[in-house]
Amino acid sequence: MRLQRITICSIFILIMSFCAVTGTATSAVATEPPEKLISIDPGNAPPDLVMVISAIVLEMRGQAQPKGKWPEIVFTGGITKGLLEPQFRYAGFRLLQTMVDEYLPPEMNNGVTKLKGHLHFFDAAKRRTLVSLEIKYEFVSDKIIIKKAEIRPLFPLRPELKLFIVPAERVTKNDFDIFSNNALTMGFLLNNCVSAGKPDEIPKGIRDYYVFACYLDRLSPDDQTELRLGRISNGLQGEKLAFRASDGIAQTGHNLLHFDHSGWRVDIARCRISLTGEKLYLKAIFQPGTKQNKEIKLGEPYLAGVFPTRLARQVPDPLVKKTQLALIRAGYDPGPADGFMGNKTHQAIDQFQRDSKQKAAAEPTRDQIKMVQAALVEKGYKPGTPDGIMGGKTRRAIMQYQHDNAMPADGKISASLLKKLTASKPQRTSTVQHAKKGKSQVVQQGESRTLTVSAPSPKQQRLKTMITSKMWPNEVAIP
């Protein structure tokens, strides 16, 4: 009878329901569970199997085995170490499912029982993890001797996550100290995140927010995650969100700030969005790594989650209105200045960006102007303070220089002018007679006195250079 039952159940699944969890999501895992699954009543499971798995879970948690209740379970040397993860004890996690995919009774395996399966853990925050299990044990009188026990965390190819949006002003530098703790992080997020269920409390207009992507599945260290902001809900397209070093937190080597809670990752990015404006989509992109799942290749990026940014009824945004008015003033057509970011406004901004680039390419840069001004000053001309602004003084000084050097005196910065200015040696000496306006002197003639323009000393020159570098650029051209 016993042999018959074991034969039938050579492959079966045992479900031990320690708690009733509804809506359990089953993530696809890198190592797929067996296709043939048989559910049986836990009451019908072999008692030795229940006892061994319970003992394994206790070992994984680093807890002592119960005494007196069950037959003594003995782990032979070194096995216990293989059941412990360095920094994780599954504390707070409950064993939801035990999936057994191979069970060889001692009669079929030279007196040793062989068991292969998976353990599925959950915690109160609905975080979950899957562990593969391989055990060999035998009965010796009233003891169960475990000869082999190996566990291996399995990482999902399709993880799930929750996204929280927190106004930037609610996150202080000190808060980042608690984000290394999962429970504190969740507490913080629940207290401070914006909720679609409270539309009256949703901030209006474009503001800075921190986006927290909290993965429910345990991820491999080499899995890659990122957050993007896109206009369309499907596809991976979007602008990559980053966490800035200027937020006062040490760089992590990633574009995102990652907090790794024993494999449960929390990605934090900062973005500037409106929760009451144009509907954009925050996208969590996941790319499985290979380190822990050597049997598979690096997976393709996968859209792990899409979250619309508009959480409340759209309202006009004063900043968008300002932008639209500025675009209208600049000669663009962003549509009516109504404070709503529509297609026309987007197109006008895109056009403005393109034009700005072209304009920047056609006109000398501020640095170039500054360089020309500095070179002119060095040569005794008077383009005013080298501030990088093309004003009347600069133009006149360029014309004068061009005239003196037999160049077309158009007052414009050209490649030939730059070449000439940088190639020729400076004429910095107090004895040279300048032909430029205001730089001429009376040379000693008989008893006549000489008026000279004194050149600044090296110390004064250094001081002037320092002053110039510290001056803020003036947007008003001085005639």
Residues that bind another protein (CB under 8 A): 168, 205-208, 229-231, 237-239, 244, 246-248, 271-274, 277-278, 280, 319-320, 323, 326-327, 341, 346, 349-350, 352-353, 356, 384-385, 433, 435-443, 447-449, 451-454, 456-457, 460, 463-464, 466-467, 469-476, 478-479
Q: How far is the CB of 456 from another protein (least distance, A)?
A: 5
Nearer to another protein, 117 or 238 (CB): 238
Nearer to another protein, 261 or 283 (CB): 283
Give the DSSP H or E segment for 229: strand 224-230
Q: Are 168 and 210 in contact (CB under 8 A)?
A: yes
SS3 25: coil
Report the alpha-carbon distance of residue 192 to residue 177 in Å, rounded. 16
Q: How far is the CB of 285 from another protein (least distance, A)?
A: 13
Nearer to another protein, 177 or 350 (CB): 350
Ramachandran assignment for 253, one of left (phi > 0), alpha (psi -120 to 50 degrees), beta (any other) = left
Q: How far is the CB of 200 from another protein (least distance, A)?
A: 21
Nearer to another protein, 195 or 356 (CB): 356
Amino acid at 474: N
Q: Which residue has the tokens 């055990």?
A: 135
Ramachandran assignment for 157, one of left (phi > 0), alpha (psi -120 to 50 degrees), beta (any other) = alpha
Q: What does the DSSP 8-state code read for residue 165?
A: E
Report the alpha-carbon distance of residue 98 to residue 39 in Å, rounded. 11
Q: How far is the CB of 326 from another protein (least distance, A)?
A: 7
Q: How far is the CB of 364 from another protein (least distance, A)?
A: 18
Q: Which residue has the tokens 């003639």?
A: 445
Report the alpha-carbon distance of residue 230 to residue 56 in Å, rounded. 46
Q: How far is the CB of 476 from another protein (least distance, A)?
A: 5
Nearer to another protein, 156 or 238 (CB): 238
Nearer to another protein, 141 or 445 (CB): 445
Nearer to another protein, 143 or 272 (CB): 272
Q: How far is the CB of 386 from another protein (least distance, A)?
A: 10
Q: How far is CA 267 from CA 63, 124, 167, 322, in A?
A: 32, 20, 16, 33
